[in-house]
Amino acid sequence: MPDGAPNSAARWSAVAIAIAAAIWFSYAGVKHAVASHYAGSTSADDWLHAAQVEPADAEHWYQLGRFRQLDFEHTDLTLALTYYRRAVELNPYSPFYKLDLAGTLEMSGQYAEADKYFQAAQHDYPISPEVSWKYGNFLLRQQRLTEAYDEIHRAVMVDPKLIPLAVSRAWRSDPDVHVLLDQILPDTPTADWGAIAYLSDSQEPVAGLAVWSRLIAKKPAVEWKTVFPFLDMLVAQERYDDAGQVWRQALSLAGDSASAQEARSLVFDGGFEKDLSGGGFGWQETDVAGANFDIDSDIKHSGERSARIVFDGSENLAYNNLYQQVLVTPGTRYRFQGYLRTEQISTDSGVRFEIYDPRDQKSLDILTPNEHGTQPWTLEEADFITGAQTHLIRVRVFRAPSARLDNKISGTAWVDDVAIFTGGPKP
């Protein structure tokens, strides 16, 4: 045999192997490309083709399972279970395949097996908030509350974004604030603010106040977007003393408590030295066509600032858009004081203050004199006695529509040093 024969045979063997490998890889590549094409389709029939082309790919079977479980028009839980089981069999390490298999088993009424797969998913991914959350909700539905609370607590500890949902789910299963605080929520300001927001929406003052007490002990930064609805809820529930206490405590946390009782006045920031609160028992202002509101640092009665309202002459408007709610005591004498300044206020109907009971306007509705044209700073005063059921009054800047032909108001009004004193004028 020639010397080169063995080498030639080896080369031909290598070439054959390379060709076979190339054919196999080409086939596998084409097969994968075909499967990927079908898997990327929006048609469930194509997804089934993808699974048939690549039957060892767990994701194809999982996608089919979700379709049969979740598509309302094509729901088939039996088929979904078949697909999910195939996906789990092919990839036994995916907690998310097991979660959806467990959810479908629950929908099918197979609770014991569902529990097994929830636990298996948790074993695979013990720190996943999604796994703990879904398992906890399953346990809630099974009325296994203690276990459920443990799982939900674990979920919100890792993912605080779940707190609002955790509060609502737990509250519906057992409306006990101590369970909420002691077993479910982490002892953090974020959790407490979330609970207060939910309890405010649900009109649950007792529970909300319990959470508030825990919260303020932490001396958190104040979330006014949560405090204001909480105060509104307390007022709606006629818990006026509680509302006043929460307001004072919130101001103290915000470093603003000194403004609450300036010179014994019940009006908060009557001189507009701070930005408008926008809620609670501070100044509020709403936009209205025909009038523009801002703060003026050049013209003021005292202090550094005043409130300014510019009427643009385009509307015969009823203006009542700058106001403050004030807590009062029923059957008590008060003195109102406030300063107005006007410049070229047109029409016979100018601006004034109104003090009234928003729940029973017949029992209290006081209007100060009508100011129009151009007037220097003018002290407006009124004495009044609150009704037997009056706990809350509203002070506002008011302009009634004019009945005359020339009725579109223009000009500027300034407001400053608004105050309410108990019993009589400021000493």
Write out pLDDT tens, residues 247-262.
Answer: 999 999 998 765 545 5
Q: Which residues face 395 on adjacent strands?
A: 324, 355
Residue numbers of the chain with a pLDDT score lower than 70 = 1-7, 9-50, 53, 72, 257-263, 424-427
Angle subtended by helix axes 145-158 and 163-173, to nearest 10: 170
Same domain, 244 and 367: no
Of residues 409, 400, 389, the one with CA closest to residue 332: 389
Shared domain for 171 and 225, answered yes or no, is yes
Q: Are residues 306 and 402 in the same domain?
A: yes
Statement to judge: residues 176 and 108 lie in one domain = yes
CA 344 and chain centroid, separation: 44
Of 192, 225, 260, the domain-final residue: 260
Q: Tell which residue, 146, 141, 206, 207, has the closest CA to residue 169.
A: 141
Q: Is residue 275 part of a domain?
A: no
pTM of the model: 0.82
Q: Which domain holds residue 311?
A: 284-422
β-partners of residue 419 are 337
- Does 360 lie in the same domain as 256? no
Q: By three-state DSSP, how is residue 237 classified?
A: coil
Q: Are residues 185 and 306 in the same domain?
A: no
Provide DSSP, 160-180. GGGHHHHHHHHHHH---HHHI
pLDDT score recorded for residue 7:
66
Please report whether residue 174 resides in a domain. yes
Q: Which residues contact 180 (CB under 8 A, 6 or more apart)?
A: 167, 170, 171, 195, 207, 211
217 and 95, same domain (yes or no): yes
- Residue 140 belongs to a domain: yes
**Domain assignment present for 266:** no
- Using DSSP bridges, classify how beta strands 352-356 and 333-345 pair: parallel, antiparallel or unpaired: unpaired
H or E element, residue 155 = helix 145-158
Give CA–CA dist 309/292, Å, rounded. Answer: 6
Tell me the C-alpha distance between 391 and 90, whole Å: 69
pLDDT digits (tens, 9 = 90+) for 308-318: 999 999 999 99
What does 82-135 look like in DSSP terms, one character per residue? HHHHHHHHH-TT-HHHHHHHHHHHHHTT-HHHHHHHHHHHHHH-TT-HHHHHHH
- Look up the CATH number of the domain holding residue 311: 2.60.120.260
Question: Do residues 247 and 395 share a domain?
Answer: no
Q: Looking at residue 67, what is its pLDDT?
A: 87
Is 276 contained in some domain? no
User: So what's the pLDDT on residue 135?
Assistant: 97
Q: Taking the CA atoms of the chain, what radius of gyration do you get in angstroms?
A: 35
pLDDT at 12: 67
Number of domains making up the chain = 2
Q: Are 217 and 321 in a shared domain?
A: no
Q: What is the CATH number of the domain that holds 147?
A: 1.25.40.10
Residue for token pair 């048939």: 52
Which residue's structure tokens are 């890889």?
25
